[in-house]
Structure 1
Amino acid sequence: MPDVIFPLDSAKKFEDQEKIGHNRWHPEIPPVATVKPGDSFRVHCREWFDGAIVNDDSADDILNAPLMTVHKLSGPFAVEGVKPGDLLVVDILDVGPIPQEDSGPLAGQGWGYTGIFSRNNGGGFLTEQFPDAYKAIWDFTGQVATSRHVPDVSYVGLIHPGLMGTAPSAELLAKWNKREGDLIATDPHRVPPLALPPEPQFAVLGGLPASEFDRVAGEAARTAPPRENGGNQDIKNMSKGTRIFYPVFVDGANLSLGDLHFSQGDGEITFCGAIEMGGFIDLRVDVIKGGMETYGVSENAIFMPGNVDPRYSEWIAFSGTSVTLDGKQHYLDSHLSYQRACLHAIDYLTKFGYSPEQAYLLLGSAPIEGRLSGVVDIPNSCSTVYIPTSIFHFDVRPSSSGPHQIDPGMGAPKSHNV
């Protein structure tokens, strides 16, 4: 096993650990450890809410999820000799739930969760149709996840970090804050908001000196969206065996990561749509000097996926076009067409006995494939969502005998604490 350079004690909160990570992006957050090109090492990761979501049959914790506290990131990790303009090469050697802890109160100790967020607390991809908070708990048996809240399905996990990235330079950070602030200003009272401005409250900034805390907390960017540095990309195929090439904006690169997922569908559509967990990740780092200019990677990482994807061979697919539910035509809106494809899939699954919320949770957490199938034929883009048929414990295909009826069980818990 590689040396653990960022350990986490499951009995302690994130801010009480031996080494303190962070939950904002800023170039001045000091590295917690330094490694050399060619080094391999292990990093422990805490689930993104640091234990605020619990293994029970209520969704009140999802309704009241403390969004200003996320993400709980491990790092930053500096790499010796790496300079702005280089490419940082990161190999994911292994990734999994919390080792040797298959039961306990933390996600990653033999279980994980998926949440539909309330429209008033983050929302999700289909928040207009699903404005309330729901939750599903998933139990891990080896590589397989099952749920008492979404019965008659099981997924082989494609475990991956939802978030990994390098630190921004001061100039890049200022660019983020300017453009996202301008977007917020176009509709400052929108629910959910158009973007998240810097928020000093609940900022965790690692080993930053107290004298600099207030200034940096007021500048530091929230970790919610993906940006030029990578960040919260939620790419389900960035799993074991993946090699990633990150642009470098500060000395040492200052790599950080977290938000581990046991499984996820393309888009992580419920916002908390993956099966969220804590765990470990083994990495190896290297550098391509001057690689940003050499390969034209001035922003946004490129990567080579690993080859550990579950091998599904049969799918049932749903399509959608860029027309709203009330019949309004949009021009080549792929976001809208993917929404419509997902809604068609949800409608279909309800015919087998699932509630719409159970079907929505399934699409967020199952290894579905989302595709842009047509983006040139005006005015309608076409998006598709592919669901592997073998995740179901029954025949999900259309037939003359009609849909099999499952027992929905207790269903997905809904929050009633409003």
Structure 2
Amino acid sequence: MTDTLIKVDLSQSAYDNDMIHNRWHPDIPMVAWVRPGDDFIVECVDWTGGQIKNDDDASDVRDVDLSQVHFLSGPIGVKGAEPGDLLVVDFLDIGAFSDSLWGFNGFFSKKNGGGFLTEHFPEAQKSIWDIKGMFTSSRHIPGVNFAGLIHPGLIGCLPSKEMLNTWNTREAELYNTDPDRVPALATLPYGPTAHMGRMQGDAAKSAAAEGARTVPPREHGGNCDIKDLSRGAKVFFPVYVDGGGLSMGDLHFSQGDGEITFCGAIEMAGWIHLKVSLIKGGMAKYGVKNPIFKPSPITPTYNDYLIFEGISVDEGGKQHYLDVHIAYRQACLNAIEYLKKFGYSGAQAYAILGTAPVQGHISGVVDIPNACATLWLPTEIFEFSIQPGADGPTIFDTKGIDVPLAKDL
């Protein structure tokens, strides 16, 4: 029987579990130790620590305290791991808790984090998704049903003190170029809501004041939101502190490439079965600066797609030079406008792109001045045809059904 190294109680505050933390800092104590070759199970709360409820009221998304996130299980030390090594992590299995078979997707209000399309969807909304074995559907978005690819949105090792200082310096420099921007350009250290695991007293307060927030991906891994890190995946993580300090959380039942709604996957609580090993001196041997990933061999099988193109010309018609961010945004907006012709609201269409296994591709970055990005929408997830034809779209009846909206206070 495989040991469960970290257990969580979904009825308990994440702050009361000393095997959970919500900041990156090299001095956070290891909560468990394993040896190379060991396999083990880690349980995780959802990334907000239970702030979002299974109901039809989006006020919890509007009011969520984003300074608390993400709640991560760990850190786990691997005996013999030293700076410069590669920590090899195999994903053996991953799943939802049997007594919590649901997840949520949300759009944050522009004032509280926003999202990829925040100018178009500035108010908080959410959808609830029921987990039925491998598949999911939502009472808020009828007409779709698809297979999930469960994965951790966030997994990585502890940074060294030098790396932490680098993160904080460069992100503060960016933030200070426009400190009044909404949403902010970066999430800087914030001590009052930090949970430093087993650190106590003055040491915990000092570390909390400089601990890096968990929002972005960085050199150590972190919040990469790569949907193909499911069963059978393998990751090679750079090691920066003795023991490595592996932590994880932010589990997703399913996600589209880009996690475009920010709270953009089907967020859930659950468990991960992992196995670890080491490549001594692997960072130098292979020239590794950021993690290397081998994807899961298991993916939802969809063979028919509609592909929406976007170029680096923004909504106002302004030309940008090879801007992939703008091009992908245009591809997403084009897909949303298309789905609206079949009866979906803009919010429902946006939620579909954030949760379903859509593919995002950088299709061209050399043909000046326009980058080309594409969004691949699997047509087989729909319970009706969304193919274009001479007779026009068949309107799917969504009358009286929509993604709950919370007006900003």
TM-score, structure 2 normalization:
0.99
The aligned counterpart of 1:381 is 371
Q: Distance in 2 between matches of 1:377 and 1:2?
A: 53
Greater mean alpha carbon deviation, residues 53-62 or residues 255-264? 53-62
Partner AA of 2:206 in structure 1:
R
Q: Distance in 1 between matches of 2:262 and 2:126?
A: 12
3-state SS in 2 of match to 1:62: helix
The aligned counterpart of 2:274 is 283
Q: Does residue 78 of structure 2 align to residue 79 of structure 1?
A: yes
8 Å CA contact retained: 2:109, 2:408:
no
Q: Distance in 1 between matches of 2:246 and 2:137?
A: 33
3-state SS in 2 of match to 1:162: strand
8 Å CA contact retained: 2:10, 2:50:
no
What are the equivalent positions in structure 2 for 1:36-55 lying under 5 Å apart?
A: 36-55=35-54
Partner residue of 1:342 out of 297, 309, 332: 332
Q: Distance in 2 between matches of 1:403 and 1:125?
A: 27
The aligned counterpart of 2:309 is 319
3-state SS in 2 of match to 1:77: strand
Q: Distance in 1 between matches of 2:221 and 2:144?
A: 32
What are the equivalent positions in structure 2 for 1:81-96 lying under 5 Å apart?
A: 81-96=80-95
* Residues 273-305 of structure 1: per-residue CA shift (max 9 Å, x gap): 1000000000000000000000000x2100111
8 Å CA contact retained: 1:22, 1:204:
yes
Partner residue of 1:354 out of 322, 327, 344: 344
What are the equivalent positions in structure 2 for 1:119-130 lying under 5 Å apart?
A: 119-130=110-121
3-state SS in 2 of match to 1:25: coil
Q: Distance in 2 between matches of 1:224 and 1:285?
A: 25
The aligned counterpart of 1:364 is 354
The aligned counterpart of 2:9 is 9
The aligned counterpart of 2:405 is 414
3-state SS in 2 of match to 1:335: helix
* Residues 142-188 of structure 1: per-residue CA shift (max 9 Å, x gap): 11110011110011000000000000000000000000000001000
What are the equivalent positions in structure 2 for 1:214-293 lying under 5 Å apart?
A: 214-293=205-284
* Residues 202-261 of structure 1: per-residue CA shift (max 9 Å, x gap): 100000131301210111000000000000000001111001000000000000000000
Partner AA of 1:218 in structure 2:
A
The aligned counterpart of 1:396 is 386
8 Å CA contact retained: 2:123, 2:407:
no
* Residues 379-404 of structure 1: per-residue CA shift (max 9 Å, x gap): 00000000111000000110112111
3-state SS in 2 of match to 1:263: coil
Alpha-carbon shift at residue 417 of structure 1 (Å): 4.8
The aligned counterpart of 1:105 is none
8 Å CA contact retained: 1:75, 1:256:
yes
Alpha-carbon shift at residue 312 of structure 1 (Å): 0.7
Alpha-carbon shift at residue 89 of structure 1 (Å): 0.2
Q: Does residue 158 of structure 2 align to residue 167 of structure 1?
A: yes
Alpha-carbon shift at residue 326 of structure 1 (Å): 1.1
Alpha-carbon shift at residue 319 of structure 1 (Å): 0.2
8 Å CA contact retained: 2:343, 2:397:
yes
8 Å CA contact retained: 2:91, 2:231:
yes
8 Å CA contact retained: 2:105, 2:267:
yes
Q: Distance in 2 between matches of 1:261 and 1:279?
A: 9
Percent identity over the alignment is 54
8 Å CA contact retained: 2:323, 2:371:
yes
Alpha-carbon shift at residue 10 of structure 1 (Å): 2.5
Q: Does residue 203 of structure 2 align to residue 204 of structure 1?
A: no
List alignment gaps of at least 5 residues for structure 1. 102-108
3-state SS in 2 of match to 1:244: strand
Q: Distance in 2 between matches of 1:243 and 1:198?
A: 31
3-state SS in 1 of match to 2:332: helix
Partner AA of 2:66 in structure 1:
L
8 Å CA contact retained: 2:89, 2:234:
yes
3-state SS in 1 of match to 2:167: helix
Greater mean alpha carbon deviation, residues 251-260 or residues 204-213? 204-213
Partner AA of 2:164 in structure 1:
L
Q: Distance in 1 between matches of 2:16 and 2:191?
A: 19
3-state SS in 2 of match to 1:164: strand
Partner AA of 1:66 in structure 2:
D
User: How many equivalent residue pairs?
Assistant: 408
Q: Distance in 1 between matches of 2:108 and 2:366?
A: 33
8 Å CA contact retained: 2:125, 2:405:
yes
Q: Does residue 21 of structure 2 align to residue 31 of structure 1?
A: no
3-state SS in 2 of match to 1:258: strand
Q: Distance in 2 between matches of 1:371 and 1:343?
A: 15
Q: Distance in 2 between matches of 1:257 and 1:49?
A: 13
TM-score, structure 1 normalization:
0.96
* Residues 77-132 of structure 1: per-residue CA shift (max 9 Å, x gap): 0000000000000000000101x31xxxxxxx111010011000000001111111
List alignment gaps of at least 5 residues for structure 2. none
Q: Distance in 1 between matches of 2:263 and 2:146?
A: 17
The aligned counterpart of 1:183 is 174
Alpha-carbon shift at residue 365 of structure 1 (Å): 0.5
8 Å CA contact retained: 1:14, 1:20:
no
* Residues 24-67 of structure 1: per-residue CA shift (max 9 Å, x gap): 00000001000000000000000011111011111111111110
